[in-house]
Amino acid sequence: MDPMAAIKQTFFQECEEQLVELESGLLRMEDGDDDLETVNAVFRAVHSIKGGAGAFGFDELVEFVHVFETTLDLIRSAKLAATPAVTKTLLRASDVLADLVRAAREGGSADAGAVKIIADELSALLGGAPRQDDDGKVSVDSLDFEPVCISLDSIFDIGEPEAPATQDFILRFKPAVGLYAKANETLRLLRELGRLGETSVECDTTEIPLLTELDPEGAYLCWTIHLTTSAPEQQVREIFEFVEWDCELSVETADVGKLLEALQESLEPHEAPPAPIAVAELRDTSVATDPAPTSFAAPSDDHPAAARAEAAKGEGSGAVQATIRVDLDRVDRLINLVGELVINQAMLSQRVSEAGLSRASSVAIGLDELEQLTRDIQDSVMAIRAQPVKPVFQRMSRTVREVASMTGKSVRLVMDGETTEVDKTVVERLTDPLTHMIRNAVDHGIEKAEDRIAAGKPEEGSLRLSATHRSGRIVIEVADDGAGINRARVRQIAVDKGLIPAEANLTDDEIDNLIFLPGFSTASSVSNISGRGVGMDVVKRAIQALGGRISISSVPGRGSTFSMSLPLTLAVLDGMVVTVGGQTLVVPLTAIIETLQPKKESVHELGSGARVIATRNTFTPLIDVGAVLLYRDEPIEPTSQVALLVESESGAKCALLVDAIQGQRQVVIKSLETNYGHVHGIAAATILGDGRVALILDVDAIVARPRADMIVADMPAAAE
Amino acid sequence: MITVRLPEILDIRAASPLAAELLHARGNPLTIDASDVAKVGTQCIQVLLSAHATWTADGLPLNVAHPSETLLDALETLGIPFTKISEQESAK
């Protein structure tokens, strides 16, 4: 990759992070957080994007960010109140910004109409402030004055009329520790200033302590720079663009500076160091905490600037953590290798036990330790892939905003547990099903405002998205406070579509779960929001593909809750190793409820060769795994077998007949699709300790096949 | 009289070792040979400033000998007079 592309990629990665910061800050503001630091964090996020976008020449992006930034600046300086309406606009602006960033990354272009609408709304917020017109120049007609021609020739004797007018600036610059720590260098900044024009630099060294007290990597110096240049102030400021959060900076034109200095002196004749009021705002976070933010005078305690900068970092966008960016491929290679290590370790243990060494022998003990270590390594490696679900959740807040504005509903999204971590693949593949469920909840779940008021509920609907860890899995819930599922209607539709027999006696839960059946869609008219030709069955399949399960519970008038339970990782699995027809298979442990030995009197034949087994007063379909996978043609006598009572993702129970149980162990999942191809009834493969390949059973596929034929037959049996 | 020879590279990573080395020499008249300096950052200059202040406070002489062009140029850019890091003017 050429260096420029690499830098660009880093920029876009950082953009993603900044966009997350931006949105979470705005959401905090929406929740009424009026802390200046929150506003500052939001401003910083937008500003950083602008800096990079400018450097890479993404003009469209820069133009929009500029208006956005200006609006935020007004809020920061308390010239514009962050009312709910304003934050709503800002949130939508952040959505547009995300689109623009994506467009810049992918080389496409964003929806110009949407960009224009938001840009105009932002400009409207700016009110009388100077607006940018299309070519990015400040348009004169929006300024509140009439241009008047004044001839200067009579006042000044200008020898060369074409010579650009020069201006004197006084810059006061105090770097914080962070500036040096981020590999910036005052020397370079001053040299760049020197290129703009004539400079005279004064360094204030009074803060330098004796060697014993010196932090060699501290920041003790501050500078006053007199600059005579033809460059505009903007250009002078740009030099400090990438360090402005790590320093105190004021830029004044000399005449204003002198005036202020004189004023200061007349007020405080005894104060020796000049402490002028910075005309330009100090873009330092200390504004939030410093009681006298306009003063540049060096404070008296030891490293106050550094301390403040650290404090601001700590309380602002979360403590700064040392992180590195690693290519995902490398992590995956590492995970693969650790997987091989686990397999290898298992093989080694097996060899040792085959060799007849006692469990107490030093080799066996060493192997136990090795096993423990291997597990630890595996857990640590898995933790590298673990990502908080926050980015996905935050994307949902955008979905809610969009769907709510399309349907004219007012919906509030409450998020819970966004820091819960789960495997990166799971996080990535959650977006689509979650988006669909959120759309569904806003479109169908939450009622229109008038209906809500009539039902005695608050006008604003509430949608709760939460993530929690529960017994080695992650549980994600989408709960709305809408009308709940209209069971009579759901049942009727299912009957009409032939999904269930008309006389079927279903529990409320069973009716609710009908919406996951393929071909079921409650929307009588296809809306362009949730009715995109995909039903909840697609959501269910997506979740199942992740090894998860989904269920719904609903209380009429109170709302519905979709709850998804997903594995934390897709790389390893706890399984029960079984023998079927001479083959070794692995059944995911999460699916198994119990194992039992079928007795002759508990097995009943149904007409069509199907069998059920009576367990705890219910009948459960009995499935011969060997027959399903075509390991044998002859039906087998259940009493000679072991039955695994399993529950599929849909909650359907089934008893799987296997020849024998070998034991439980953690296996490393090897994709069959990647290495061979999809096989029905098989989810993946693994390599056992003896080096043989064992197939991992796809319990859902095994259960679903007969259930599809039996769903009609099954119900009366359950009603018996 | 102790002589400390400054390394070629005086970037941020050199600041702590430099401070430690100079602190070690405290209590003696000191000459800092700066002829090798090819790269210097602001923080090492802070260390030199602090060292000079420390030796002055102790009433002992500290001189920077044979300052390289790089060092002199950096001091000039930063607006720091040579006499802030050395008792005697540069011999240059």
Residue A449's Cβ-count burial label (10 Å; 0-12, 13-18, 19+) is: middle
Selected for mutation to probe chain A from B12, B18, B46 (highest A CB count within 10 Å) is B46
Token readout for A189 is 């900044």
- Contact predicate A392/A474, CB 8 Å: no
Residue A430 has pLDDT above 70, yes or no: yes
Residues B2-84: name the CATH superfamily: STAS domain (3.30.750.24)
* Highest mean pLDDT of the ranges A296-310, A357-371, B13-27: B13-27
Q: Where are the beta strands (DSSP E) in B1-92?
A: 2-5, 9-10, 30-33, 39-40, 62-65
Mean pLDDT within A587-597 = 87
What local confidence, expressed as pLDDT, does residue A139 receive?
A: 42
DSSP A670: B
Q: Which of A320-329, A401-410, A433-442, A626-635 has the lowest mean pLDDT?
A: A320-329
Q: Which of A288-302, A656-670, A701-715, B33-47 has the lowest mean pLDDT?
A: A288-302
Question: In angstroms, rounded to a whole number, what is the distance separating the alpha carbons of residues A198 and A194?
Answer: 6
What local confidence, expressed as pLDDT, does residue A651 receive?
A: 66
- How far, CA to CA in Å, does A153 sit from each of A162, A165, A255? 12, 13, 21
Residue A451 has pLDDT above 80, yes or no: yes
Local confidence band at A514 (pLDDT 50, 70, 90 cut-offs): confident
Strand partners, A251: A171
Exposed e or buried b per residue across A5-18, where buried means at least 16 C-beta atoms within 10 angstroms of its C-beta = eeebeebbebbeeb
Residue A301 has pLDDT above 50, yes or no: no
* Smallest Cα distance from A313 to chain B, Å: 21
Residues 9-48 of B with CB under 8 A from A: 12, 15-16, 18-19, 22-23, 26, 40-43, 46-47
Cβ separation A187–B50 shorter than 8 A: no
Mean pLDDT within A421-443 = 86
Mean pLDDT within A34-43 = 83
A104 Rama class: left (phi>0) / alpha (psi -120 to 50) / beta = alpha
Cβ separation B47–A209 shorter than 8 A: no
Comparison of pLDDT for A270 and A407, the residue scoring more: A407
Mean pLDDT within A352-362 = 79
What local confidence, expressed as pLDDT, does residue A239 receive?
A: 86
pLDDT tens digits along A546-586: 777 788 888 888 889 998 888 877 777 888 999 998 889 99
Contact status of B57 with chain A (Cβ, < 8 Å): yes
Cβ separation B78–A203 shorter than 8 A: yes
Quote ipTM for the complex: 0.93
Among A182, A185, A209, A191, which residue's Cα sits nearest to residue B40?
A185
Cβ separation B78–A187 shorter than 8 A: yes
Cβ separation A210–B53 shorter than 8 A: yes
* Smallest Cα distance from A56 to chain B, Å: 28
Q: How much is the mean pLDDT over chain A?
A: 77
CA closest to A173 among chain B residues: B78
Token readout for A114 is 């949407």
Residue A63 has pLDDT above 70, yes or no: yes
Residues of B in contact with A205 (CB under 8 A): 49, 80, 84
Mean pLDDT within A222-239 = 87
Contact status of A488 with chain B (Cβ, < 8 Å): no
Cβ separation B43–A190 shorter than 8 A: no
Token readout for A162 is 């074409």
Question: In angstroms, rounded to a whole number, what is the distance separating the alpha carbons of residues A92 and A405?
Answer: 11
> Which among B26, B42, B74 has the least Cβ separation from residue A211?
B26
Cβ separation B42–A211 shorter than 8 A: no
Exposed e or buried b per residue across B58-86, where buried means at least 16 C-beta atoms within 10 angstroms of its C-beta = beeebbbebbbebbbebbebbbbebeebb
Mean pLDDT within A41-70 = 83
Local confidence band at A717 (pLDDT 50, 70, 90 cut-offs): very low
3-state secondary structure of A622: strand
Residues of B in contact with A185 (CB under 8 A): 41-42
Comparison of pLDDT for A401 and A470, the residue scoring more: A401
Q: Which of A100-114, A203-217, A421-435 has the lowest mean pLDDT?
A: A100-114
Other CB atoms within 10 Å distance of the CB of residue A255: 11
Contact status of B60 with chain A (Cβ, < 8 Å): no
Residue A165 has pLDDT above 90, yes or no: no
Quickly list DSSP for A191-245. HHHHHHEEEEEEEE-TT---GGG--TT----EEEEEEEESS-HHHHHHTTTTTGG
- Contact predicate A177/A306, CB 8 Å: yes
Other CB atoms within 10 Å distance of the CB of residue A656: 28
- Give the global pTM: 0.48
Residue A203's Cβ-count burial label (10 Å; 0-12, 13-18, 19+) is: buried
Cβ separation A201–B53 shorter than 8 A: no
Residues 195-234 of A with CB under 8 A from B: 200-203, 205, 208-212, 214, 216-221, 223, 225
Cβ separation A223–B50 shorter than 8 A: no
> Which among B19, B53, B84 has the least Cβ separation from residue A216?
B19
CB pairs under 8 A between A and B: 81
- How far, CA to CA in Å, does A633 sit from each of A531, A627, A628, A667, A695? 44, 6, 9, 29, 20
3-state secondary structure of A390: helix
3-state secondary structure of A498: coil
pLDDT tens digits along A101-121: 888 888 777 778 888 888 888
Token readout for A549 is 């399960």
Cβ separation A205–B43 shorter than 8 A: no
Contact status of A180 with chain B (Cβ, < 8 Å): yes
What local confidence, expressed as pLDDT, does residue A321 receive?
A: 58
What are the sequence ranges of the domains in chain B?
Answer: 2-84
Comparison of pLDDT for A98 and A290, the residue scoring more: A98
What local confidence, expressed as pLDDT, does residue A715 receive?
A: 41
What value, to the nearest 5°, has the Cα angle with vertex B85 and ends B80 and B88?
110
Contact status of B62 with chain A (Cβ, < 8 Å): no
Token readout for B9 is 């590279």
What local confidence, expressed as pLDDT, does residue A522 receive?
A: 52
Tell me the pLDDT of chain B (92 aa) as tens digits.
888 999 988 888 889 999 999 998 888 899 999 998 988 999 999 999 999 999 999 989 999 999 999 999 999 999 999 999 998 876 54
Contact status of B49 with chain A (Cβ, < 8 Å): yes
Residue A484 has pLDDT above 70, yes or no: yes
What local confidence, expressed as pLDDT, does residue A162 receive?
A: 45
Edge-to-edge strands, sheet with A603-605 = A592-596, A642-647, A653-658, A618-624, A611-615, A603-605
What local confidence, expressed as pLDDT, does residue A277 receive?
A: 44
What local confidence, expressed as pLDDT, does residue A316 receive?
A: 43
Cβ separation A209–B50 shorter than 8 A: yes
Other CB atoms within 10 Å distance of the CB of residue A376: 10
What local confidence, expressed as pLDDT, does residue A129 receive?
A: 45
Mean pLDDT within A443-450 = 86
Residue A2 has pLDDT above 90, yes or no: no
pLDDT tens digits along A236-291: 888 888 887 888 888 887 766 566 666 666 665 444 444 444 444 444 433 333 34
Local confidence band at A328 (pLDDT 50, 70, 90 cut-offs): confident
